[in-house]
Amino acid sequence: FLRGHEYIETELGDLQMTLEASANNMASFKSLATEGRYLKPLLISMILMFGQQLSGVNAVLFFSVNIFEAAGTSLNSFIENIILAGVQVVATILASLFIDRLGRRFLLIFSALVMSLAAFGLGTYFWILSHDPAEAHAIGFLPLSSLCVFIFAFSVGFGPIPWLMMGELFGPEVKEKASTVSACFNWSLAFCVTQFYSPLAHEVGSASTFWGFATVLVVIMVFSIVVVPETKGRTLEEIQDLFRPAQSSAGRSNQPEGDLPESFGPDERPSAPLILNADLLDDQPEREREPQTRHEPNSMSNQHRSDTVSV
């Protein structure tokens, strides 16, 4: 209504062309599981989702009141939960400001490292509480501070970045199917963590449970250092080249540009091929083409004379 019908028709046409192009180049689930250029980014995305959920974040968020009550802190558990939510809000805002400055990979490594230390600290508190309650009472600040650090580190790294990289790692021909697989894997793990956290903490103890979360985070940190690529500042095509076979990537970058004379330098190549039109040659005056037709016989006669003299 405000912009006019011609703009709407143009945008609809562009959308239709984009959808048709995507439909013609869609990859299948079979290629997603068998072709390396699709399988590698899928595995990276799924392992990041695994680290996100097996860090224990949903156990912390859903059972924070129970955790504070089990820790026996002096502050009201619900107030501590509100403080935890406030930390998450602030950290999420900071993540949106620094994610393009610091890079995805750095924030993943930082997040996993800090979360593992916080989870280990909370597990240590529960271990001390089970062995020496008086000593645990002296460090009653540790549960709230550990969980605040844990949630802060999660919100700046492993909270948003696995979802962000899911959209950056996959090409348009496979994004729909790969994102579906990765998201389903994520929420399946979220269900398992929330379903089995309480029985697991009751069976092996809260200390061992949080130490297990810390161990997973250390493994994911090493994975982020060794395997996860940095996607900040790269185009979609550059990211896809990271997962293509080496020969394919080299072939794309070293494609021949045509047979050109050696006199053309790398910066002197013509931007378009030179096309000679036969009609233009036919339109040339006879006197301009005459020397070209007489040059070859003269050269041959000269060669014949030289051969005769040599004999």
Average pLDDT (10-29) is: 66
Those residues with Cβ within 8 angstroms of residue 147's Cβ, 6 or more apart along the chain or in another chain: 60, 64, 67, 80, 84, 118, 122
CA distances from 205 to 69, 132, 181 (A): 15, 15, 33
169 against 23, higher pLDDT: 169
Q: For residue 112, what pLDDT is reported?
A: 96
Quick: pLDDT tens for 100-158: 888 899 999 999 999 999 999 999 999 998 888 888 888 888 888 999 999 999 999 99
Report pLDDT digits (tens) over 99-112: 888 889 999 999 99
Mean residue pLDDT of the chain comes to 78
CA distance 41 to 198: 33
For residue range 287-307, list pLDDT tens digits in order.
444 444 444 444 444 444 444
Residue 306, pLDDT score: 43
* SS3 letters across the chain: CCCCHHHHHHHHHHHHHHHHHHHHCCCCHHHHHHCHHHHHHHHHHHHHHHHHHHCCHHHHHHCHHHHHHHHCCCCCHHHHHHHHHHHHHHHHHHHHHHHHHHCHHHHHHHHHHHHHHHHHHHHHHHHHHHHCHHHHHHCCCHHHHHHHHHHHHHHHCCCCHHHHHHHHHCCCCCHHHHHHHHHHHHHHHHHHHHHHHHHHHHHHCHHHHHHHHHHHHHHHHHHHHHCCCCCCCCCHHHHHHCCCCHHHHHHHHCCCCCCCCCCCCCCCCCCCCCCCCHHHHHCCCHHHHHHHHHHHHHHHHHHHHHHHHHC
Does residue 154 contact residue 126 with C-beta atoms inside 8 Å? no
**CB-CB neighbours of 172 under 10 Å:** 14
The Cα 108–Cα 83 span in angstroms is 24
What whole-number distance in Å separates Cα of residue 95 and Cα of residue 288?
73
Higher pLDDT, 188 or 298: 188
For tokens 């089990």, the residue is 70
**Rg value, the chain, Cα:** 33
For Cα atoms 35, 39, 44, give the angle at the middle one, nearest 5 degrees. Answer: 160
- Going along the chain from its start, the domains and CATH numbers come out as 37-244 (1.20.1250.20)
pLDDT of residue 311: 36
Q: Is 103 left (phi over 0), alpha (psi -120 to 50) or beta?
A: left
CA distance 134 to 141: 13
Residues in the chain, total:
311
* pLDDT of 21 strictly over 80: no
Q: How confident is the model at residue 51 (pLDDT cuts 50, 70, 90)?
A: very high
